[in-house]
Amino acid sequence: MYLQRRNRILRNNASIRNMVAETVLTPADFIAPLFIDEGEHISYEIPSMPGYYRHSLDNTIKEVKTLWSMGIKSTLLFIKCNDEWKDNTGKEAWNENGLMQRSIKAIKDAVPEMIIMTDVALDPYSEYGHDGIVKEGKIVNDETVDALVKMSVSHAAAGADFVAPSDMMDGRIGAIRKALEENNFTHTGIMAYSAKYASCFYGPFRDALDSAPGFGDKKTYQMNYANRIEAIKETITDIEEGADIVMVKPAMAYLDIIREVKNAVTVPVSAYHVSGEYAMIKAAAKMGWLDEPKAIIESLTAIKRAGADLIATYFAKDAAGMLT
Ligand code: PBG
């Protein structure tokens, strides 16, 4: 058979395949989420996230050193707030001696070059488990934004490199940027969770932080997963308001959104490979139904191929270990 073009030539062996690979993962692509709790010498395995832990601050610092030694450059911090400090204002969120603020400082001291991003939303601090302040059964936008601004400024003051608002309130990026400017935090970046969908795939995360909504759901602020164009609208709004990096979340079921956002913007795009996506791979692997390392690398490569410049993933350490 005479063929003018034989496409299989470029798939002939591993060397050729690697030479022409369009997408190559590196540990610097990953953002490692970290769950931090009070106490000492504690590493609690999250039941719905096997192999993933909520650490006390001392153990978190050990973990950050390990991550850094593996080539991971960025962490995203979440804290678990004690129940007695939760209320409907979220005020523990901007306590300058709060666990988040202490954690930022301690991690910066221990590994100064590690990028620290911090989750900004009220849910871990809210007695209702909602991302905002609740009035008459509704999540009120503008008062919530005022709280998020205080929270962001306190993270910047503690030394966070990026604040990462994950709440989906209107106008929060502009308000946070303005407050950072006014307080002279001109080096603090904003990674906006811009296209964050109301997703069942956050279930295990809410176990990790004990932050499940006490009533209703998050559909009046997080996006409807039926929508695509709305993701562009949300993302463009955040960029106009001053976001440095934008995010699509979740990742695997939203690869089309990642690509559309990537094509529409000129800032870096991140994607959050969320807790439920982690749990699915772990569960199938435990049953012997999937090859875990292969499932991890294929998933992360697909997310990057879709257009993610950065990937927040609970597999950051596993993947970095496989890549080096
Ligand atoms: C809080 C927040 C959530 C996640 C990140 N920040 C949960 C939620 O919005 O309910 C989910 C992360 C994950 O599932 O891995 N605003």
- Counting from 1 in the atom list of ligand 1, the atom nearest the Cα of 203 is 14
Q: Is 239 helix (H, G, I), strand (E, B) or coil?
A: helix
Digit-coded pLDDT (tens) for 243-255:
999 999 999 999 9
Q: What's the pTM value of the predicted model, to 2 decimals?
A: 0.97
pLDDT at 186: 98
**pLDDT more than 90, % of the chain:** 98
| Average of per-residue pLDDT across 215-219 | 94
- Counting from 1 in the atom list of ligand 1, the atom nearest the Cα of 312 is 15
Q: Is 127 helix (H, G, I), strand (E, B) or coil?
A: coil
Could you give the count of Cα atoms lying within 13 Å of 204 in the half-sphere of its Cβ? 24
pLDDT at 95: 97
Give the integer Cα–Cα distance in Å for 154 and 140: 22
Q: Is the pLDDT of residue 23 over 90?
A: yes
- Decide: 278 in ligand 1 pocket, CB within 6 A: no
Strand partners, 248: 195, 271
Digit-coded pLDDT (tens) for 286-295:
999 999 999 9
| Average of per-residue pLDDT across 123-135 | 95
pLDDT at 219: 95
Helix orientation angle between 255-264 and 292-306, rounded to the nearest 10 degrees: 30
pLDDT at 210: 84
Cis peptide before 50 (omega within 30 of 0): no
pLDDT at 121: 97
Catalytic residue status for 249:
yes
| Average of per-residue pLDDT across 25-33 | 98
Q: Is the pLDDT of residue 276 over 90?
A: yes
| Average of per-residue pLDDT across 7-34 | 98
Q: Is the pLDDT of residue 211 over 90?
A: no
pLDDT at 207: 87
- The CA 202 to ligand 1 mean position distance, Å, reads 6
pLDDT at 92: 97
pLDDT at 324: 78
For atom 2 of ligand 1, the residue with the nearest CA is 166
CA dihedral 152, 156, 157, 160 (to 10 degrees): 130
Q: Which two tokens stand for residue 191?
A: 């990674």
Give the integer Cα–Cα distance in Å for 135 and 245: 31
Give the integer Cα–Cα distance in Å for 235 and 192: 8
Q: Is the pLDDT of residue 209 over 90?
A: no
Q: Calculate the average pLDDT of the chain.
A: 97
Strand partners, 196: 249
Digit-coded pLDDT (tens) for 58-76:
999 999 999 999 999 999 9
Query: Which DSSP symbol is given to 184?
Result: T
Query: Which DSSP symbol is given to 224?
Result: P
Mutate to test the pocket of ligand 1, among 166, 196, 221 (most ligand atoms within 8 A of CB): 166
Q: How far apart are the first and last CA of the chain?
A: 42
Check if the beta carbon of residue 45 is closer than 8 Å to that of residue 53. Answer: yes
- Decide: 202 in ligand 1 pocket, CB within 6 A: yes
For atom 11 of ligand 1, the residue with the nearest CA is 202
Nearest to 60 by CA among 72, 48, 47, 78: 78
Catalytic residue among 86, 218, 249, 282: 249
- Lowest average pLDDT, out of 102-116, 200-214, 230-244, goes to 200-214
Nearest to 255 by CA among 230, 281, 240, 273: 273
Choose the CATH number for 25-323 among 3.40.50.920, 3.90.190.20, 3.40.50.720, 3.20.20.70. 3.20.20.70
Nearest to 214 by CA among 222, 206, 202, 204: 206
Catalytic residue status for 282:
no
- Decide: 260 in ligand 1 pocket, CB within 6 A: no
Q: Which two tokens stand for residue 284?
A: 């199938």
Q: Which two tokens stand for residue 115?
A: 């990028």
Q: Which two tokens stand for residue 33?
A: 């989420």
Q: What are the residue ranges spanned by the domains of the chain?
A: 25-323
Q: Is the pLDDT of residue 107 over 90?
A: yes
pLDDT at 208: 87
- Decide: 277 in ligand 1 pocket, CB within 6 A: no
Cα–Cα–Cα angle for 23, 75, 260, rounded to 5 degrees: 40
- Long-range contact list for 55-61, CB < 8 A, 24+ apart? 57/99, 57/102, 57/103, 57/106, 60/34, 60/36, 60/103, 60/107, 61/106, 61/107, 61/110, 61/111
